[in-house]
Amino acid sequence: MKKMQIAPSILSCDYGKIAEELEKMEKSGADIIHVDVMDGHFVPNITLGAPVVKCIRKYSSLPFDVHLMITDPIDYVEDFINAGADSITIHLECDSDIEKTLSLIKEKGCKAAVSVKPKTPAEAVFDYLDKVSMVLVMTVEPGFGGQSFMEDMMPKVKKIKEEIDRRGLDVSIQVDGGIGEKTIAKAASNGADIFVSGNALFKAENTAEAIKTFKALAAEAYPEK
Ligand code: DX5
Ligand code: ZN
């Protein structure tokens, strides 16, 4: 059975206490650390760059999944890999050559993934399914944490999952935006297996309980047992 993985998005953490926040997530059973990189151009918000990733890398032994919401990822992927990224996600809507960027990420020994914003259809990722280890379906417009889950993205998740299965590929589907107790089962039932969660996890009273509940709800709803 596919493992249901929880990826806290540090966009919602207290950056002043980042070491503690990362340690807490690891102790609480998180599987992956999701790092949102925004350039103020591809999305209307600015977060952090490779030097910050390098500094915080030492506070966690979990894989670092870097979500690049930037216009020209090809110019920066090497910096993020050198800073300790284990996987890098680029947006199909960016300006870089997608094939070249994915090849560069993989050449440097990192996992590569593609992401689609809400208005981009499922079919847009089909050409890349054999070149990535993960597809990220945004369930909010990228740019900010704390937005509401877009349930109308579920047919897109389902379509991508069906295509992955039809071709017998081993590609994970990640969902990002508004994931919490009320939404995770919906996403899992349509075929998502990696769940990014910012606000719901960083604001939870008991993080370990929240992660445990998330995993149980996802496993229960996932189509393949
Ligand atoms: C949005 C980011 C998300 C965001 C998720 O552009 O990609 O990772 O932090 O936060 P929540 O779970 O609060 O919607
Ligand atoms: Zn993200």
Max alpha carbon distance in the chain (Å)?
Answer: 46
Give the global pTM: 0.98
What confidence category does residue 166 fall into, taking pLDDT thresholds of 50, 70 and 90?
very high
CA angle 8, 25, 14 (to 5 degrees): 75
Q: In whole angstroms, how far apart are CA 11 and each of 104, 143, 189?
A: 26, 10, 26
Pocket lining for ligand 1, CB < 6 angstroms: 9, 11-12, 34, 36, 67, 140, 142-143, 145-147, 176-179, 196-200
Q: Summarize the confidence of residues 121-128 as an average pLDDT.
A: 98
* 225 has a pLDDT exceeding 70: no
CA distance 16 to 10: 12
What confidence category does residue 224 fall into, taking pLDDT thresholds of 50, 70 and 90?
confident
CA distance 88 to 123: 21
Q: Summarize the confidence of residues 102-118 as an average pLDDT.
A: 98
CA distance 115 to 93: 8
Q: Summarize the confidence of residues 108-121 as an average pLDDT.
A: 98
* 14 has a pLDDT exceeding 90: yes
Q: Summarize the confidence of residues 169-174 as an average pLDDT.
A: 98
Q: Which two tokens stand for residue 212?
A: 């445990």
Query: pLDDT at position 174, please?
Result: 99
Residue 136 three-state SS: strand
Q: Report whether 197 contacts 139 (CB < 8 A).
A: no
Please, what is the average pLDDT of the chain? 98
CA distance 151 to 117: 14
Q: Summarize the confidence of residues 166-176 as an average pLDDT.
A: 98
Based on C-alpha coordinates, what's the Rg of the chain?
16
55-79 residue pLDDT tens: 999 999 999 999 999 999 999 999 9
Given the residues 31, 36, 65, 193, select the one marked as catalytic.
36
CA distance 32 to 5: 7
Given the residues 31, 65, 176, 193, select the one marked as catalytic.
176
